[in-house]
Chain A
Amino acid sequence: MHDTEILAGMTEIFRDVLDEPALCLAEAMTPADIPAWDSLRMVLLLAALEERFKIRFTTLETDRIHCVGDILEILRRNLLADHQLAEKTFDGKHNVPIEEVRVPPAS
C-alpha cells in the first residue's frame, strides 16, 4: 500500500472521528493544527485506524505520535511488515506466518 493510499484512509477516519468533513491531512500536522484532535479523540482515532488497517498500535508507538506523519510512519511500517511476513515464508505457499509458528498438537 502506498503512502497516498494510507494517507487517504487516514483522512477519512480523521474526518469522521473529529467531525471535520473538510479536513485535509498533511504529514506535518499536529494536534495544535486540528483543534478537535485532543487526547479524548486520540483514542477514538487509534481505535478506528486499527480497525481500518487491521493492525494493533503498541504503547511504544502511540507514545511517539506527535503528528500525522508519525501515524503514517507506524502504519507504513506495520503494513510493510505484514507484506514481508507474507513474502518470507518457507514453504512457498505464503501461508506460514514466520513470526509465530504453531507446532501441531500430538496426534
Chain B
Amino acid sequence: MDLDQLVMRFESLGDSCEFGLVQRQAGAEPLGLLRFAGFTVPAEQRLEVLIAALDRGFEGLGDPDTIEITAEGPPDHRELIVRERAYGLLYHTFLNPTDVDVAKLRQLESIRLRYLRRKLLADLASAEKIFVWKCNADIDVDGARRLLAALRRHGPVTLLWVCADPAFGAVGTVEHIEIGLLRGVIDRFAPYHAIADINHAGWFAVCAAALALAGSSDAQPAGSRTIIVSALRDLVRRAVDDPSLGGMRGVATLLPADTYTWSTPELRDDTFLDPNRQDELYAYDAATLQAHDDVLKVVLERALVASQGAVITQDGHLLRESCWEFLDGGLVPYGMERGADGTFRIVAAPARTVPEPALLLKRPWWLSYRHFLIDAASLLAFAATRLDLTRFRLVIGLTHDVKARQAILDLLTMLAPGATVLEQPDNEIWRFADLHYITPVHVPPLCKVPAALAALRTRAYEAIGSHVADPPRPRLLMLPEPGEQPYLDNHAEIVALCAEFGFVLIAPEQLSMADRIALFRDANSVLGVRSPQFANIAFCRPGTPVIALAPGDWPDPFYAELAGQSGLSYVEIFGPPLSRDAGPSQNPFRIEPEALRRVLTKVFASDAPRAAPVMQPVVSPQSEEIIFERFLPVVAYPEHRGDIYLSVLAELHRRLRPRTYVEIGTQQGQALALARCIAVAVDPHLPLQESVLRGKPELHLFRMTGDTFFSRHDLMRTLGGAVSLAFLDGPMLHYDRILRDFIHLERCSSQHTMVVIHDVVPLDVYMACRDRLDDFRRFRTKRLDWWTGDVWKIIVVLEKYRPDLVIDVLDAAPTGIALVQNLSPDSTTLSDQFDQIVREVAAWPDEAAAFAAYRAQLRLRPTADLDTILAERERRRQHAP
C-alpha cells in the first residue's frame, strides 16, 4: 500500500500537528477537525479536555460568538490565529491580517468548524478510520481506555495510542491491548517548540503495523484477504481467550437451547413416494424429539454482509450459520470467490457503509415466501419479544417483485411497527458499523424454533385483530398456477373434486397480508400443493386439518414439521411426478383423484366442522433487551499471588485469638471450621461439610439470610458481647447485601473488632458480574469458575463514606480480601445514607470504567504484610483513648 493511502486510514485526535504533518509528508491531506487544531491547555490536561469534548459531541462548536481571531506573531510576520473558546481549540490560518476581513473570516471559520465537527462525528460513527492519539506528556493505559470509551460512545472506533516509550518495544511495534485499543511505539515525539522535527519513518512503521493488526477487512484491497468459514458459536467460545476475535462487541442469548416434539402426519399416502427416498422421509418421522441450539445475538463491528445474508466479520470469518445453505449446496455468495483450499476471497468492494445499528433479517433463499416467513419473519417476531426494534435498521433483501415486496413490508409493518428498513440488493456487499446478527430460528429441514413460530402467530393475530378476510373461506384450496412449481398437472380435476367437499380455490399471493393471515387463522381446513404459499399454514389455529399434496420425488419434511409442532392435523399425499427433468419440487406431478377422495372422506367423515382450539401464546413479551450486555473492555489483572484467603483467616484466628466470631455466608463451613471461639454462622442454605464444631465452646447456626437474622436476633446477646472477628462471604455476592450485613455487624462491634470481607478484588469486570446466571457476560472472564459478584463496590463505598475506617485490601488468592478495622458501633453514617449510596452506585455510568478506576487506585497489600498490619493495629490500640 502506498504511503499516502496508508496514512489516509488514520485520523488525528490532536495534541499537536505532528501526525497531521506525518500525513502531509506521505502526500495525504485528509480533512479532520483535530488534524491541525489543538487544545490550548497544558499537555497534561489535553486528554481530559478531549474526553470532555467528545462526551459533549463538540456540541456548539462553530458558534460565531465562540470564535476569536487575533493577529499574532512578530511585526514582520503577523498571522491571524483562530481561538475557539467553547473547547479551547487553537489553529493557524496562515493569513495576513491585511489580506482578509476578520468579520468575514469568522463567518467562514464558523462554517468550517461546523462542517468538521459533523465530519468527525460521522467518522466516529462509521469507524472506518483508526483514530490516533499521542501526547508528549505521559499518558497511562487507563487514560487511553477512558479516551477509547469516550470515542466508543459515538461508534465502534479503534484507537491507536502512540507512546514514545521504548519500554513498550521497538519503534514500529504495535500491540493489541484490548478490543478497540492498540498501542504503538515510537522513539520520540517532535518537541512542541520544534514540531517539524518528526521521526516520519517511525510513524509510518507504526501506521503499517496498526493497520495490519486492526484486522479491518477493508484494510487491504479486495481480493487480498483470505476468508475462512467459521461457526459463530466456535468464535464466541474462542473469544474468551481472544476478545478481538470476530470483532464481536456483544453476545447475548435470546433463547436457551431446548428440545421440542413434533407430531408426525396423521395420515400419509406414500403410494407414489419415490421408493429410494422413503427411508429418508421416515427417518425424519422417527425423530419427533428435536433439539434446537440457543438463539444467540451478537453485535459485530464493521462486518460485511454479502449476497443473501452471508456475514463476514472484520477479521475475515465467514459465519457458517449465515450461509450454510449456500455453502453446502456448493454455491458461493456474491462478491466472493472460493479457493481450492476451501477458503474464500472477497472480490467486490463494499457498495456502502451503514453507520446505524442494523439487524440482519436476510437469510438464504429469502426470495421464497416460505423462507421469508419462517426464517426472517418468525425471527423478527421473536426478536420483537426481546428487543426494541425501532433502534435498528432492519436489513432485508431488495426485490423488484411488487407483490412480494408489498407482502414483506406488510409483514414488517405488523411485526416491527415504526422500524426503518434497508433493502440490500443481493448483488452488493455492504459494510455495517454495528451489525446485530441473530442465529437462525430455522435450520432446515427440521428445527424450527417453536417459540419463534408462536411469536409470529401471536404478533400476526394481534396486528390484524378482529379483521376478517373478504370473503371468508372456511376450506382453503391452494394450487399453483401454470408456470409455478411444483405444478399439479390434473389441476382442474382436483379443483372439481375438492369443490365437492366445500373447498374454494384461493391465491394467497394476490391477497393483502391481513387477509392472508385472517383466512388461514379462520380456516376450517386447508388443502394444497406444497408451494411456498403453503407456508401460510403457520397462521392456522392448532387442530386445523391441513392436507398437503406433493410430488413423489420430494419428501421434504419442512411442512410436516411446521404443522407437527404447530398442533395442526396434517395429512400428506404424494403423487407421481410426470418427469424427472428438473430437481425435486420442480417437476410437474398429478394426484390420483380417488386417492384424494379417500383421504378427504376419511378426514371429513363428519360434516360437523372441527372446532379450532383457542391458541395460547407461547412467548410472553419481555422487556427490552434484558439479556444483551455490551461487552465491557476486557482488562484481566494478574492472579493474586498472596496466600489463599483461608490461610489468612487461619492466621488471623491464631494471632488475634478472638473471643467471638461471626460469619455470614458459611457455605460448606471451611472458614467456620477455623474458629476456636464462640461462633455464629448465618447462611440460608448451610450445606455444611466441615467439622465446624471443633474447638468451639458455642456454635450458633442460623439458616437464614443476614437481613432476617439481624431482624430477629440480638447478636450481642447470642455472643455474650461484641463481635471480635467477622467474616462476610455472601452468600449473595451483592455489595449492598454485604453492606447491610456490615452495618448490622458494626452496631455489635467494639473498637477492636475486625471484619474480613471476601471477594473484593476480582480479576476482571466479568468475574464481578452482579448476576451469577448472566453467563454471556461471565463467560468472558478468564476463570469461568470464579464469581465474586460486585462485592468490590463495598470498598469504594466504605472509603468514600467512612474514611474513619482502616481498610487493608490483601492480595489473598483467589479473589482478595479486605480487613476492616476501627469500627464505631455508634456510627449511623452508612445506615442513614444507605439509600443514597445504592442510588449513587446504580447511577455509575460505566461499570467497567469504575472497576478500572477502583483497580487503579487500589493499594493492594501482599498477604505477607499481615505482620505489619497487625503491628499497626497494635499501635493504634495502644494509642486509643
Binding site for B on A (CB under 8 A): 38-40, 42-44, 46-47, 58-60, 62-63, 88, 90-91, 98-106
Contacts and interface: CB of A to CB of B under 8 A. Distances in A.
Interface stretch (B303-311, B410-418, B573-581, B670-678): B410-418
9 contacts: A39-B31, A47-B112, A47-B115, A58-B122, A100-B421, A101-B421, A102-B421, A103-B420, A106-B417
Rank and list the top 6 A-B pairs by shortest CB-CB distance, nearest first.
Answer: A106-B417, A105-B418, A101-B421, A47-B115, A43-B112, A103-B419
A46 B30 CA distance: 13
B422 A39 contact: no
B31 A101 contact: no
Contact of A104 (B8, B30, B406, B417): B417
Contacts of B406: 90
Given A40-B93, A103-B417, A105-B418, A98 B119 contact: no
A69 to B, nearest CB: 17
Nearest to A46: B115
B198 interface: no
Interface string B76-114: 000000000000000001100000000000001001101
B744 interface: no
B402 interface: yes
Interface residues of B, number: 37
Given A58-B126, A88-B400, 6 more contacts: A40-B112, A42-B29, A44-B108, A62-B31, A100-B420, A103-B420
Nearest to B92: A40
B413 to A, nearest CB: 5
A86 to B, nearest CB: 15
Contacts of A38: 94
Given A59-B129, A62-B31, A44 B112 contact: yes
Interface string B404-434: 0110010011001111111100000000000
B325 to A, nearest CB: 26
B116 A43 contact: yes
A99 B115 contact: no
A43 B115 contact: yes
A63 to B, nearest CB: 5
A101 B108 contact: no
Contact of A101 (B114, B116, B119, B409): B409
B122 A59 contact: yes
B393 interface: yes
Contacts, number: 77
Contacts of B422: 99-101
Interface in B472-521: none
A103 B93 contact: no
Contacts of A90: 400, 402, 405-406
A22 to B, nearest CB: 18
A56 to B, nearest CB: 8
A10 to B, nearest CB: 17
Contacts of B108: 44
Contacts of B115: 43-44, 46-47
B409 A103 contact: yes
B18 interface: no
A105 B70 CA distance: 53
A106 to B, nearest CB: 4
Contacts of A102: 420-421
Contacts of A63: 8, 30
Contacts of A42: 29, 31
A76 B400 CA distance: 25
A100 B393 contact: yes
B736 interface: no
A59 B28 CA distance: 14
A104 to B, nearest CB: 6
Given A39-B29, A59-B119, A98-B423, A104 B129 contact: no
B112 A60 contact: no
B811 interface: no
B809 to A, nearest CB: 47
Contacts of B8: 63
A59 B417 contact: no
B128 A101 contact: no
Contacts of B417: 103-106
A44 B418 contact: no
A8 to B, nearest CB: 23
B663 interface: no
Contacts of B618: none
Nearest to B356: A100
Nearest to A60: B128
A103 B412 contact: yes
B31 A104 contact: no
B553 interface: no
Nearest to B120: A59
B876 to A, nearest CB: 62
A104 B413 contact: yes
Given A43-B31, A103-B416, A103-B421, A59 B128 contact: yes
Contacts of A88: 400
A98 B352 CA distance: 14
Contacts of B94: 38, 40
Contacts of B423: 98-99, 101
B123 interface: yes
A82 to B, nearest CB: 14
Contact of B123 (A40, A59, A100, A105): A59
A39 to B, nearest CB: 5
A16 to B, nearest CB: 11
A62 B129 CA distance: 13
B201 interface: no
A27 to B, nearest CB: 19
Nearest to B398: A98
